[in-house]
Structure 1
Amino acid sequence: MRKIIFIGAGGYAKSAIDALSLYNHHIEGFIDDFKEGEHLGYKILGNCIEDIFEPHKYEYFISIGDNKKRKSWHDILKNKGLELINIIDRTAIVSNNVEVGTGCFIGKMAIVNSDVKIGDNCVINTKALVEHGCRIGNHVNISTNSVLNGDVRVKDGAFVGSCSVVNGQLLIGERAMVGSGAVVIRDVEDDSTVVGVPARRIEERRYKNV
Structure 2
Amino acid sequence: MAGRLLILGAGGHGRAVADLAEACGFTVAGFTEPSGRGRDVVGTDDDLGGLAARLSLDGAVIGVGNTALVRRTELFARVRRLGLALPVLRHPSTVVSPSARIGEGTVVFPHAVVGAECVIGMNVVVYSGCVIEHDCRIDDHAYLSPGAILCGEVQVHERAFVGAGAVAVPGVVIGKGATVDALVRVGGSLTAGARLSMTRTIEPGR
**Normalised by the size of structure 1, how large is the TM-score?**
0.86
Matched, 1:46 2:48: no
Picking from 74, 95, 98, the partner of 2:97 is 95
Instruction: Quickly say closer, same or farther: Cα 1:167–1:53, change in 2 above 3 A.
Output: closer
> How many pairs does the alignment contain?
193
Matched, 1:28 2:29: yes
**Normalised by the size of structure 2, how large is the TM-score?**
0.87
Equivalents in 2 of 1:2, 1:132: separation in Å?
A: 32
SS of match in other structure, 1:126: coil
Higher share of residues assigned helix: 2
Deviates more, 1:44-53 or 1:95-104: 44-53
Equivalents in 2 of 1:131, 1:11: separation in Å?
A: 28
Equivalents in 1 of 2:103, 2:70: separation in Å?
A: 18
The root-mean-square deviation of aligned C-alpha atoms, in Å, is 1.8
SS of match in other structure, 1:20: helix
Deviates more, 1:68-77 or 1:53-62: 53-62
Q: Structure 1 residue 21: deviation in Å? A: 3.8
1:159-174 alignment to 2 at 5 Å? 159-174=161-176
SS of match in other structure, 1:120: coil
The corresponding residue for 1:148 is 150
The corresponding residue for 1:16 is 17
Equivalents in 2 of 1:19, 1:27: separation in Å?
A: 10
Off by >6 Å, runs of 4+ in structure 1: none
Instruction: Quickly say closer, same or farther: Cα 1:170–1:30, change in 2 above 3 A.
Output: same
Q: Structure 1 residue 196: deviation in Å? A: 2.2
| Structure 2: 5+ residue stretches without partners | 200-206
| Structure 1: 5+ residue stretches without partners | 198-210
Deviations 1:72-128 (A, max 9, x none): 100111122221111111111111111000111111111111110000000000101
The corresponding residue for 2:135 is 133
Q: Structure 1 residue 37: deviation in Å? A: 4.0
Does the Cα contact within 8 Å between 1:19 and 1:90 map onto a contact in 2? no
Equivalents in 1 of 2:171, 2:62: separation in Å?
A: 30
Equivalents in 2 of 1:158, 1:173: separation in Å?
A: 7
